[in-house]
Each structure stands twice: as structure tokens, then as C-alpha cells.
Chains A and B, each alone.
Chain A
């Protein structure tokens, strides 16, 4: 929330904003304050079941970036230049992550499902995590299959580490899925629908 627009008050106090982002739950998180009910909390008369998590690589076929993509995967250097961060090979392969959510109860309900993915890279000591929260509405007993497409995480490493040489990608990618953290509430609950599926050896 960095703002340079000044509203000059009659008292001449100038810019009264101190840019930061600690509003509502961000403040509670940052100051480590335990709330009574956190942002996003809500109860429901039904529960949701999660199953069938799978990760597949989207096959884009052969094109002029195929060899460069293979180079990158093998840890070999690729050409560097202006605008290379938008190159296709840097953003491939794409993955399709899917799983099934079922309303297990007898009443309609809304669920905030969350999918997070992390891929650990050989040369980067920290993990790259992406989260995809979204909301679904279902009628009783209905089962829905959800898909999420995502690009590879190399862009992040490339921009943060500012490396010219490529970084090999670990073949491991971990996905977690389940109900969102906030909708479980701040009190630990028994029905934590949080499982971890690790797809090993997913290299293309």
C-alpha cells in the first residue's frame, strides 16, 4: 500500500500513511496474536471429502522450444538475453493437477478448497510454494472433479536468484490439498482434511 498521493490537511501534516500491509489477519499473524475467530472462519452442517489427487504433465508436442526445455531439465545452460524471462522453455512444462471433492453430508454446502504445490529445486535451498484457493458450492452427495493448471516454478528461481545458468529442477513435486486453513478455524479440529501426496519421478 505504498502511496505517494498527498492529501494536505489544513494542519499541514502531509502524508499520514506509513506504508505497510498489516491490516486485519496480517496484523494478527505478524504480531502473533491468537484471535477468537480468525478471518475466514465458518462452520458448516456438512463435511467434504477429498480424494484422487493426481499430477500430470501437459504434453505440448514438439516445437522450437522443446530442445531448450530439455536442456534446462538436464541442468545445461540456455541462451541468455533481454526478455528471456518470458521464453516458453522457462515456463514449461505445464502441469495439470486434479482431485475430487465430495460433499459427504445431506445438505448443500460451500467449501473453500485449497491446493498448494511445492517443488524443491536442486540449486535453491528454499522451496517454491504456490497456493490456489477457491470456493465451490455443492448439493448433497455431489462429487466434483477439480482441475488446476500451473506452470513450472523455474521462473521464480530465475528471477529471484538472478542466475544466468540454469537451475536443475528436482523431479519431486509435492501437492497438498484440502480445506483451507482459515475455514478449519483457529481451534485444531479432528476432521482435518489435509493429506499430502507426493508424486515422485515426474520429470518429463
Chain B
């Protein structure tokens, strides 16, 4: 799920703007279900983590000057439980986390 109420931000913008393009800066998959079917969300740009020219690059993509042609390097699921592995939290200086790779 998006941090810092990111989903609520998209929903708030989409409620007012009928041509909302969502740009996502993320290092991994997110669940998009809260808003991806919203009729006012026209497109999603999966921008990764850009460098200093990320603003220019995004304008080129959004306004059609550059064809992104990128492919997802992972699957975006409908629910977190669809993934074979979940985030494991916990552990401290004394306790070493055991992570069972039950997904293989």
C-alpha cells in the first residue's frame, strides 16, 4: 500500500480532475486497487526513482514527446496476499530474524 496516504491523495485529485495521470516513484510493486479503476484516472506512469532530469523526462513522456516503452520488472497484484512472500519485520541487536523462504 502507498505510504503517507498516497491513495487518498490520488482519490482527492481524481475527484476533481477528469484527466488524472498518476506518476509513481517506487522501488517495488504497490497495490493500486483503491483508485486504478477510477474513471478519472487516465494513465499510470511507473517512473521508478529518477535522477536530476526526472522532471524533464516525465514531461516528455506525459506530453507524448518520448515513448516510454518500459516493461514491468515485477507483477502488480490485486491484493498483497496474492504475492508468494510477505514483508517480514522485527528483529533487533540481540534477535536475528529467521526468514523462511517458503515461496522457494
Contacts and interface: CB of A to CB of B under 8 A. Distances in A.
Contacts of B100: 16
A157 interface: no
A25 interface: yes
A28 interface: yes
A167 B100 CA distance: 46
User: Size range of the interface on A?
Assistant: 35 or more
B10 to A, nearest CB: 15
Interface stretch (B1-9, B11-19, B50-58, B78-86): B78-86
Interface stretch (A36-44, A56-64, A71-79, A147-155): A36-44
Interface in A1-41: 1, 9-11, 13, 16-25, 27-28, 33-41
Given A9-B96, A27-B103, A40-B72, A45 B82 contact: no
A39 B104 contact: no
A42 B71 CA distance: 5
A112 interface: yes
A63 B36 CA distance: 62
Interface stretch (A102-110, A158-166, A191-199): A102-110
Contacts of A170: none
Interface residues of B, number: 29
A118 interface: no
Contact of A36 (B70, B76, B99, B104): B76
The interface residues of chain A, by DSSP majority, are classed as loop
A27 B71 contact: no
B71 A36 contact: no
A91 to B, nearest CB: 33
A110 to B, nearest CB: 4
Given A27-B84, A42-B71, A13 B98 contact: yes
A40 B74 CA distance: 7
A22 B68 contact: no
A22 B69 contact: no
A186 to B, nearest CB: 9
Given A42-B72, A111-B69, 12 more contacts: A16-B98, A17-B104, A24-B75, A27-B103, A28-B82, A34-B78, A35-B77, A37-B72, A39-B72, A39-B73, A45-B64, A107-B67
Interface of B: 32-33, 36, 43, 64, 66-78, 82-84, 96, 98-104
3 cross-chain pairs, A with B, having the tightest CB-CB distances, nearest first? A20-B104, A110-B69, A27-B84
5 contacts: A19-B104, A28-B75, A38-B76, A107-B64, A107-B66
